[in-house]
Structure formats: structure tokens, C-alpha cells
Amino acid sequence: MTKIFDNISLYLSFLKASLKEMLIYRFDCIVGMISQIVTQLVEIIFIWIVFQNTDNLAGWNFMQILLLYGVTLISIGISDFCFDALYDIGPKYIRNGEFDKILLRPVHPLISIIGSSKEFTSLGYFGLGLFLTIIMLIKLSIPITIILILKIIFFSIVGAAIIGAINTIFSIASFWTYRSNEVIWSFYRMYTFAQYPLDIYNKFIRILITVILPFAFVAYYPTMNYLGMDSNMIYIAPIIMIILWVIAIKIWNFALKKYRSTGT
Amino acid sequence: MLKSMLALGKMQFNQYNIYKSNFYLFTLNRIVEIVVYIFVWQAIYNQTGNAGEYTIEQMITYYCLVFTLSSLSLWGVNEDMAHSIRNGNINKELLNPLSYFQYYFGVNIGEMGFALVVGMATFIICSLLWSITLPVSFINFLLFIIVILLGIPITFFFTMLVGTVGFYSSSIWGMQILRKSIISIFSGIIAPITLFPMWFQNIANILPFKELIYTPINIWLGQITINEIAFIIMKQVIWIVILYMLAKLFFNHAVKKVTINGG
């Protein structure tokens, strides 16, 4: 158990180093953040167009969908910030031999890699998500109580951890293909499915994002809880998070045993 | 000249193709993006009996074609340009017997070739998953191809215009995302232009990006008359000239300022 806490505290100090680095590249960071927000605005324009053609989507109105969108973005922002380096495992670490150095460190290599994440631009997602969430909670006249705030904080972190675990699981592809980024990205993108009510999808996709890649627990079920549409599914999210991380770490350790250096 | 450009294109194509997984994953990405749009429009259609101003089959075809074509207009050589400015390779590129524009047009051919392969695969998978309407006539299909081909230099010169910013600033990345966002909105990638407000449509009618996605797809669907198409092709040619001149002027100005970090 102490080992786990050691690893977590080490991770936090890695994170602090990254934050300091962010202050050095201030300009790049701001440009990145703005461009992240712009890409999201493009998606929001689509949602707006949808509601020019209908007044509800499977029972959800415009503001409710935007709340779901905002809550998702908060988790996406956190997970991009914390787990971004997973994309680099293939191209940056394994292909050119960096990974061998990391194996020699007295830390679990997963912590070393995740700790080197520094996707500050994801703060653009986070900021936009927070903004949308607050505005929509007010517009929907949902009382913002302390309990609700704590719930949103807790379940946003859980959501981010769920995404992080899924990305970690797919990142092992880099041990074989030497390029993790596209593999992770392809599956990660499926989180966008859970930005709309599940009722619009067919059975296959519903099972896909609740059971196989449980992105629905990142924001969809939590948002239903905040809106009072469904109160229980949200509490499964932490359990799913734990299960996914156990799987992710097991799979990683298995892949580590199989790892062969490229010899570069 | 043409030969060396094609050779460059082939090199770029092969670079993508080294990893066969690239092809599958890029195609999977396309499908993932299409799924959301199609299910949302199907839901709207089921609730209101209306999908924009199209029938539901037309709307599904619209989005399948969007993602068949979108890589042609969203991919580009910006990253390669920025990369070679940063590591000093630009030196060699400027001294090439091919001009800088010719060199990158060659690279761009490879990029487009790979985009086309991914696009075709996307289209085939889509036609297995959903029922897609075929082009209304053979003439329409030919015109569809012509308008798309004319879109390639438009995208290319616009990319060069954006890429040249890299001579002034080291973070071209943000500009690139901005370029993609502008194209996504004004070309009709996220939704048919006619669903946007009037003032927006007026801007989109002037800009050349609508002809990259929205117009060819509507030619496919038979929503545009032959007379209009003649006008569209004229507009495209004019924009090619304008963008070429702008890109060239900007580049000639920027290249004088180029400072190379060793390399």
C-alpha cells in the first residue's frame, strides 16, 4: 500500500515540475489553449444547428445537452492534462530507445511516463467546460449547493481517471507497433458518443460505451444525476474506475515483460 | 519537374504507408466521427420527420461523403513546413532545383493520395453500414470530381499561406488548428451550409471553402443545376489565382526574414 502512495506522491511532484515548465512557454501555451477552445466551438455550433431543427433530442433540450458537453469537457481537460504523455510512448520513448532509460529508474515506468505529461493547452478544455457547466446550471435553475459542487469535483476526477485508464490500456499497443498515438486516439475519440443522449444510438453503440469502453460513466450518467433524470448509475462510476485501473496496470505489467528494445 | 514532384509525393505516401496500421486507424477515426452525426440526424428525423432540408438518406449520404472528402481539405503540409523551419532543413529546401512551392506541392500530392485512399475506404465501409444514394447522373459524378480536383490547389495555397506564418513564429500549431476550424465551419463539414443563418451563408458564398465539401456533395445529390456549376468553377479558378498570389507575396516577403537555428 505504501508503494502505491509513494508512486502517487512522486507523480504529484512530476506534475509540479510540468506546471513550472508551463510558465516558461507562456505564449505557446496561450495559443494552444485558444485553439483548443476554437475546435470545441466548432462542435458547439453543430449542437446549435441541431436545435434549430428540433426542440429536443431524445428528451434533452439545448441547455441540457450543453451541460452534458461542459461536464464532459471538464473531465477531458483533466485527463488530457494528466495522461497526455501516453501518446508519446510509441514515437518518443520506445522507437528511439528512451524507454530503456526509463526502465532503469527505480519507479514504475508508467508513473515516469504519465508524470512527464505537460499538455497545458488542455486547460482550454477545462476552462471552457467549467464555464459551460456553471452557465448551464444557472440557466437551468439547478440550485448550486455544496453537495452538487463536491459531486461535480469528485465525479469529474473519476471521469478523467476512467479516460486515463482506457488510454493506458490502449497505450500498450505501442509495445508492438511503436506508435501508440493513433491507436489511443482512435478509441479515445469514442468519448464523443457519450456527449449525446444514449437513446439516440442503436444497441451496439450503447453497449460499446457503457460496457466495453465505459465512456458513458465519464459525464453522461453524472450529468443525468445532476439533472435529476437518473440518480443511481452515477455511483457505479468509481467502481468502474477501479476495475479499469486494475486491468490497465495488469496489462501494462504483462506488456513490460514482453517488451523488447528496438535497439536504437 | 513534374516527375520529381510525383517522386516527392510517392515518398510522402510511402511514409504513411510504412505502418499499415495507419490506414486502418485513420479509417476507423473517420467512421467514429461519422457515427455521431448520423445518429443525431436520425434522431431528429424520427422526432420531426425532417432532416435539415434533405431526406434522411440524403443527409446520411451527405455526412458519409463529408468524411470521404474531409481529409483532402483538412490535411496538409503545415507540420512538415514548420518542422523543417525549426530544424534548419529549410536551408536545403530553398536551395532545391525545385522551387519551395513546387517542392511542397509534390509532398502535398502524397498527402492527398493517402487522404484519398483513406477516404475511399471510409466510403466503402459507410456504404456497407448505411444506404447511400448514388450520384444522380454520370455527368454529375464527373462534375463532382472536377470541383474536388479544383479544390486541391485552393487547399494547398491556403495551407502555404498559413504555413508561411511559421517563418515569423515558432508555434505554428495553433494557426494550424485555426485553419482546420475555419475550413470545418465554412466548407460545410459540420453541417450543410444552408442550415446556418443567412449572414453566415453570405460569407460562405464568397469564401472558397464551400466548394471543398458542400458544393461537390450537392452536385452528387443533384441539388445544383448545370448553369450554377459553370459559375462555381469560375469562382474556383478566380480563388486559385487570388490565393496563389497572396501566398507567393507573403512567402517572398517572409523568406527574406528567415533566420535559421543552426540546423
Is the pLDDT at A155 greater than 90? The verdict is yes
| Contact assignment for B39 to A27 by CB distance below 8 Å | no
Q: Minimal Cα–Cα distance from A5 to chain B, Å?
A: 37
Taking only the tens place, the pLDDT of each residue in A173-195 is: 877 776 667 788 888 889 999 99
Judge whether A212 is closer than 8 Å to chain B, CB to CB. Answer: no
**How far apart are the C-alpha atoms of B38 and B118, rounded to whole Å?**
19
Judge whether B40 is closer than 8 Å to chain A, CB to CB. Answer: yes
Taking only the tens place, the pLDDT of each residue in A42-89 is: 899 999 999 988 888 988 999 999 999 999 999 999 998 888 888 777
Q: What is the pLDDT of residue B263?
A: 44
Question: Could you give the 3-state DSSP secondary structure of residue B51?
Answer: strand
**Residue type at B148 in one-letter notation:** I
Q: How confident is the model at residue A15 (pLDDT cuts 50, 70, 90)?
A: confident
Query: B123 in a domain, yes or no?
Result: yes
Query: B132 in a domain, yes or no?
Result: yes
Q: How confident is the model at residue A96 (pLDDT cuts 50, 70, 90)?
A: confident
Give the Å distances, CA to CA, from B96 to A71, A107, A149, B99.
51, 48, 60, 7
Judge whether A179 is closer than 8 Å to chain B, CB to CB. Answer: yes
Q: What is the pLDDT of residue B259?
A: 63
Is the pLDDT at A97 greater than 90? The verdict is no
Q: What is the pLDDT of residue B89?
A: 78
Is the pLDDT at A14 greater than 80? The verdict is no
* Domain boundaries, position B7: 2-255
List Cβ neighbours of A259 (8 Å cut-off, separation of 6 or more): A99, A103, A175
Q: What is the pLDDT of residue B237?
A: 95
Nearest CB to B25: which of A46, A186, A193?
A186
Question: Could you give the 3-state DSSP secondary structure of residue A140?
Answer: coil
Query: B76 in a domain, yes or no?
Result: yes
Place of cell 543552426: B262
Q: Which of A95-99, A211-215, B226-230 has the lowest mean pLDDT?
A: A95-99
**Tally of structural domains, chain B:** 1
**How far apart are the C-alpha atoms of B218 and B223, rounded to whole Å?**
5
Contacts with B195 from chain A: Cβ below 8 Å: 49, 52-53
Taking only the tens place, the pLDDT of each residue in B78-94 is: 778 877 777 777 777 78
Q: Which of B36, B70, B114, B171 to mutate against chain A (most A CBs within 10 Å)?
A: B36
Q: How confident is the model at residue A131 (pLDDT cuts 50, 70, 90)?
A: very high
* CB environment A200-216: b (16+ within 10 A), e (fewer): bbeeebeebbbeebbbb
> Per-residue pLDDT averaged across A96-108, rounded?
78
Question: Could you give the 3-state DSSP secondary structure of residue A57?
Answer: strand
Query: B237 in a domain, yes or no?
Result: yes
Query: B260 in a domain, yes or no?
Result: no
List Cβ neighbours of B132 (8 Å cut-off, separation of 6 or more): B57, B60, B61, B64, B123, B126
Residues with pLDDT less than 70, chain B: 19, 170-171, 258-263
Contacts with A192 from chain B: Cβ below 8 Å: 32-33, 36
| Contact assignment for B39 to A195 by CB distance below 8 Å | no
Interface of A with B in 154-173 (CB under 8 A): none
Question: Could you give the 3-state DSSP secondary structure of residue A60?
Answer: strand
Judge whether B35 is closer than 8 Å to chain A, CB to CB. Answer: yes
